[in-house]
Amino acid sequence: MSTHTGRRGGGRAARQAARLHAVVDKVPFITRTMTPVEVLSEEGLELIESNAETILEQVGIDFRDAPDARDLLREAGAEVEDERVRFPRGLARQLVQATAPKTFTQVARNPANSVEIGGMNTVFAPAYGSPFVRDLEGGRRYGTIEDFRNFVKLAYASPYLHHSGGTVCEPVDLPVNKRHLDMVYAHLRYSDKPFMGSVTHPERARDTVELARIVFGADFLEENTVILSLCNANSPLVWDATMLGAAKAYAEAKQAVLLTPFILAGAMSPVTIAGAATQTLAEALAGMAYVQLVRPGTPVVLGSFASSLSMQSGAPTFGTPEPALVLYVMAALARRLGVPFRSGGAFTASKIPDAQAAYESTNTMQPTFLGGVNFVLHAAGWLEGGLTMGYEKFVLDADQCGMWHEFAKGVDLSENGQALDALLTNGPGQHYLGHAHTLANFETAFYRSPVSDNSSFEQWEEEGATEAAQRATPIWKRMLEEYEPPPIDGAVDEELREWIDRKKASFPDSDY
């Protein structure tokens, strides 16, 4: 182990090194063993479903600047008036249920990292979309392509993140019309986990598909999902041309589309839990129905991003109880509909990885996992309401993702798990530290955090009286230093680079 991070003594560094590699059961995704937590009765869920149908029928959804989308929906039975599309009761649901898969495999460049999205599975992906990055030493600054690559590498190196994500941060040092090429290349080259494509322009979505065809083969893409991309509704009740165009591009290539109403309740929806859930369902149903019409059978994921507002400032707030309840409700609605569900993440409004950040993140990640979310975008790194991607926050959150791997296993009721022999052979007052059963199980008995400090006060003080975020710094630095890129066929890499160079050259130089 290198000693260059040695702000601290060898004791801590050695322990951290040991823990960093004490990974239990690396798996490509989590399969939960417990039934999801429900907070509403069947009648309550039916009521929300019925209200969503009433919205779709009486108010409808605007499909803006998208005449082709409206034509498709009209042909399928919707009423179209200008940009507004109204769905007869049950139509959107029928369109989704008729052809959308309940669960699907997103194939990774390394097949061992392919993920199953849906059912009892949970997939963790890093945070998405931040213009800023932050680390303890460098502070807050605009993200660059180097930061982007760093987070791709960190997600690749973490045993507890299953997915490379998408816009892990905005590389604002690159031209807007070209940066998607470097982003997709980074996912394909510096990781071999599954990834997300560009959605900022339909042409960028098609570029993403082209790059994937180079890596996976065009024929393979016809039969397999290798890209999952995030299309947000423009709530309330609007799908706009950019997102519809990106969704269409992916659907035409039969690549998965994640349709997410993005709602700060009180601003983009009614302020109540049931109101926010009703609107989310209506918007998502309309979007998913459209995707099924573009190409039936295209994998879709019902997304829900819902949070609360500060009454003082109108700023978004996170980790509060009301969005947790929306999450549980939406997860149940997705299960009833029969499509995979995306929500949650390590959300916080805090600017730094402090106690607020951890309380808020955990208050969302608990319902995320217990509610049965299938695809967890923003599982690691999120700060400042999504404006900032944090290096230390990433390490802290990834540790939490590790804990969910252990929790998901549930209670071992094997003979060894019951430990009845140990209980019968160990008398009152005798400790278990040296018992054969303990020795046989100790190594794997408890999740071991690489970043928590469990030492005595005196030892902790002697080692610098660090807070958690400070202990995360050497961890991400070491992960980047020890990073080794996954292998890639040299000809494929060459073809990727050439395709990207040609594409970049097609833009005028001034187009920054």
Nearer to a second copy (CB atom), residue 167 or residue 363: 363
Q: Which of residues 92-121 bind a second copy (CB under 8 A)?
A: none
Q: Which of residues 458-497 bind a second copy (CB under 8 A)?
A: 460-461, 465, 467-469
Nearer to a second copy (CB atom), residue 143 or residue 197: 143
Whether 144 and 171 have beta carbons less than 8 Å apart is answered as: yes
Q: How far apart are CA 203 and CA 178, in angstroms?
A: 11
Q: How far apart are CA 62 and CA 230, in angstroms?
A: 19
For 330, half-sphere exposure in the C-beta direction (CA atoms, 13 angstrom radius) is 38
Q: Which of 20, 28, 53, 62 binds a second copy (CB under 8 A)?
A: 62
Q: How far apart are CA 11 and CA 246, in angstroms?
A: 52
Nearer to a second copy (CB atom), residue 58 or residue 510: 58
Q: Which of 221, 230, 243, 273 binds a second copy (CB under 8 A)?
A: 273
Site string for a second copy, 212-241 (x = CB under 8 A): ----------------------x-xxx---
Q: Which of residues 38-57 bind a second copy (CB under 8 A)?
A: 38-40, 44, 47-48, 51, 54-55
- Residue 375 phi, psi dihedral angles, 5° rounding: -125, 115
176 scored as a contact of a second copy (CB under 8 A): no
10 Å Cβ neighbour count for 200?
15
156 scored as a contact of a second copy (CB under 8 A): no
59 scored as a contact of a second copy (CB under 8 A): yes
Nearer to a second copy (CB atom), residue 103 or residue 466: 466
65 scored as a contact of a second copy (CB under 8 A): no
376 scored as a contact of a second copy (CB under 8 A): no
| Residue 64: closest CA among 202, 240, 200 | 240
The token pair at 319 is: 């980790």
140 scored as a contact of a second copy (CB under 8 A): yes
Q: Which of residues 318-347 bind a second copy (CB under 8 A)?
A: 319-322, 324-325, 329
Q: Per the omega criterion (within 30 degrees of 0), is the bond before 236 cis?
A: yes
Specify burial of residue 151 (Cβ count, 10 A radius: 0-12, 13-18, 19+).
Answer: buried
Nearer to a second copy (CB atom), residue 98 or residue 465: 465
CA angle 183, 188, 191 (to 5 degrees): 105
2 scored as a contact of a second copy (CB under 8 A): no
Q: Which of 232, 361, 374, 473 binds a second copy (CB under 8 A)?
A: 361
The token pair at 64 is: 């803006």
357 scored as a contact of a second copy (CB under 8 A): yes
400 scored as a contact of a second copy (CB under 8 A): yes
Nearer to a second copy (CB atom), residue 98 or residue 440: 440
Least distance (Å) between residue 418 CB and a second copy: 5
Whether 137 and 165 have beta carbons less than 8 Å apart is answered as: no
Whether 411 and 393 have beta carbons less than 8 Å apart is answered as: no
Least distance (Å) between residue 202 CB and a second copy: 21
Site string for a second copy, 426-455 (x = CB under 8 A): xxxxxxxx-x-xx--xxx-xxxxx-xxxxx
88 scored as a contact of a second copy (CB under 8 A): no
Nearer to a second copy (CB atom), residue 140 or residue 213: 140
Nearer to a second copy (CB atom), residue 51 or residue 99: 51
Contacts of 40 (CB under 8 A, 6+ apart): 48, 328, 329, 332
- Sole window of 100-108, 250-258, 305-313, 499-507 interacting with a second copy (rule: CB under 8 A): 305-313
Least distance (Å) between residue 347 CB and a second copy: 12
144 scored as a contact of a second copy (CB under 8 A): no
82 scored as a contact of a second copy (CB under 8 A): no
CA distances from 237 to 39, 61, 85, 269 (A): 26, 5, 10, 9
Q: How far apart are CA 84 and CA 237, in angstroms?
A: 10
CA distances from 276 to 2, 58, 60, 261, 264 (A): 51, 17, 16, 10, 9
Characterize the bridge pairing of strands 238-239 and 300-309. unpaired
Least distance (Å) between residue 224 CB and a second copy: 34
Q: Which of 123, 358, 401, 479 binds a second copy (CB under 8 A)?
A: 358
Least distance (Å) between residue 470 CB and a second copy: 9
Nearer to a second copy (CB atom), residue 128 or residue 347: 347
Alpha helices (H) in 105-262, listed in sequence order: 145-157, 179-190, 202-216, 218-223, 241-252
The token pair at 93 is: 């649901």
Q: Which of 418, 464, 482, 485 binds a second copy (CB under 8 A)?
A: 418
* Element (DSSP H or E) covering residue 118: strand 115-118
Segments of 273-329 assigned E as strands: 300-309, 316-317
Q: Which of 150, 280, 350, 374 binds a second copy (CB under 8 A)?
A: 350
Q: How far apart are CA 207 and CA 436, in angstroms?
A: 59
- Sole window of 13-21, 67-75, 99-107, 184-192 interacting with a second copy (rule: CB under 8 A): 13-21
